[in-house]
Structure 1
Amino acid sequence: MSNDLDDDFALFREQVKVDRRIRSETYQAPRQQRRIRSQQNTEQRTRQQQAEFFFSDNFRAYFPEGPVRFCADGESSHILKQLRRGDYPPELLLDLHGMTQAVAKRELGALLRACVRQQVECCAVMSGHGKGILKENLPHWLVQHPAVRAFHQAPAAYGGNATLLVLLK
């Protein structure tokens, strides 16, 4: 019986023998477009990494009692007095209300990068009062960025205790 079955399979194979392969009729997108998308995604990831690169959650700077203030090495401490008085009006404002720490770091990095690109001298970053998590971390993040010359708590006209005026290189 198995011999008859083998003969039947052999006969079937001979009858349905094909001379050429059947090609799929489905359309396949060119590979080049996928590479372009992957390059765009890579560039976007690189920009995000650059924006977040400068801000470590583990770094803690020392700030003296009183209003939050910082002056980079090599800068005149007179800049702090000018910031406190509001002599530098902010050209850009970033409001961090309702953001998570990760989003706030990304937005802060994007703000500082935009300020450097557009040659903005002073910007304001509003963290609000809330639970104080962003307000506490914001100065520690700003100290790490190389473009920051100085920052000081803003005068009441620009947001008071809930805002930092940031002076950039």
Structure 2
Amino acid sequence: MNEEEKKLFREFVGDVKPLSEPGHYSKIPVDRNSPALVSRRMAAVKEEGSKDNFLAGEEHVPRVMPLDTLSFKRDGVQHGVFRRLKQGHYPVESSLDLHRLTVVQSRRDVLGFVRDCVAHDIRCASITHGKGEHRENPALLKSCVNYWLPQLCEVLAFHSAPRHSGGLGVTFILLRKSERKKEVNRLRFSDPRPSE
């Protein structure tokens, strides 16, 4: 640095004094129970617990009304298959009831339930979430289920159940085949003739 740069540097730094010992810093006491530190700890614990569950919490969920019909179909799902799901023609092999659960509990259970169903070769399942008509937050769980299910690649389609099967408080889900089941079908329907 030349003299002019040193002068500018001293003006900029002003009355700042260098540390007395190199490599030593003055430690500022930290309040272990400060609100900022407590909230950072809570956020870290919450994030740690949700690493395997990517589904959004209730604050990010677009709301549906208690009497709305839930409906979703991925590209590639045949119209006839979806119609049979809507009409309740597929046997429900497993069901999950979310009544009296919080959103956090429901989020965990929905993800686990869908993954368990696929692992056990269950193709059609149902989730009972209720309509939530007379709640402080109407249709909260219903809204969450409607938002979460399309995020799960295992879910091919879903639709609110027909009236005789629970109506608007129940959602039927069509799940993809497990890898094991796909392999069984490949072997079953492969051409048995030897190639020439």
Task: Indicate yes or no: 2:174 matched with 1:167.
Answer: yes
Cα distance, 1:79 vs structure 2: 2.5
Question: TM-score, normalising length from structure 2?
Answer: 0.55
Residue 147 of structure 1: aligned partner: 154
Please, which runs of 5 or more residues in structure 1 have no aligned partner? 1-44
Residue 82 of structure 2: aligned partner: 80
Residues 9-54 of structure 1, C-alpha deviation per residue, up to 9 Å, x if partnerless?
A: xxxxxxxxxxxxxxxxxxxxxxxxxxxxxxxxxxxx78x643x22x
Task: Indicate yes or no: 2:118 matched with 1:116.
Answer: yes
Cα distance, 1:85 vs structure 2: 1.2
Please, which runs of 5 or more residues in structure 2 have no aligned partner? 1-47, 177-196
Q: Which runs of 4+ in 1 moved over 6 A?
A: none
Residue 56 of structure 1: aligned partner: 56
CA contact (8 A) 2:61 2:144 kept: no
Distance across 2 between alignment mates of 1:49 and 1:98:
25
Which AA in structure 1 matches 2:152? H
Which has the larger share of helix? 1
Cα distance, 1:106 vs structure 2: 0.3
Cα distance, 1:105 vs structure 2: 0.5
Q: Give the alignment's Cα RMSD to 1 decimal.
A: 2.4
The equivalent position to 2:73 in structure 1, one of 71, 74, 97, is: 71
Cα distance, 1:61 vs structure 2: 10
The equivalent position to 2:103 in structure 1, one of 101, 104, 122, is: 101
Distance across 1 between alignment mates of 2:163 and 2:100:
22
Question: TM-score, normalising length from structure 1?
Answer: 0.64
Distance across 1 between alignment mates of 2:72 and 2:144:
14
Count of residues in Structure 1 that have an aligned counterpart in Structure 2: 120
Distance across 2 between alignment mates of 1:134 and 1:141:
10
Which AA in structure 2 matches 1:56? A
Distance across 2 between alignment mates of 1:119 and 1:89:
13
C-alpha change, 1:106 and 1:161, in structure 2 (3 Å) is same
Residues 111-158 of structure 1, C-alpha deviation per residue, up to 9 Å, x if partnerless?
A: 001101101001000001223100112111001000000000111232
Residue 157 of structure 1: aligned partner: 164
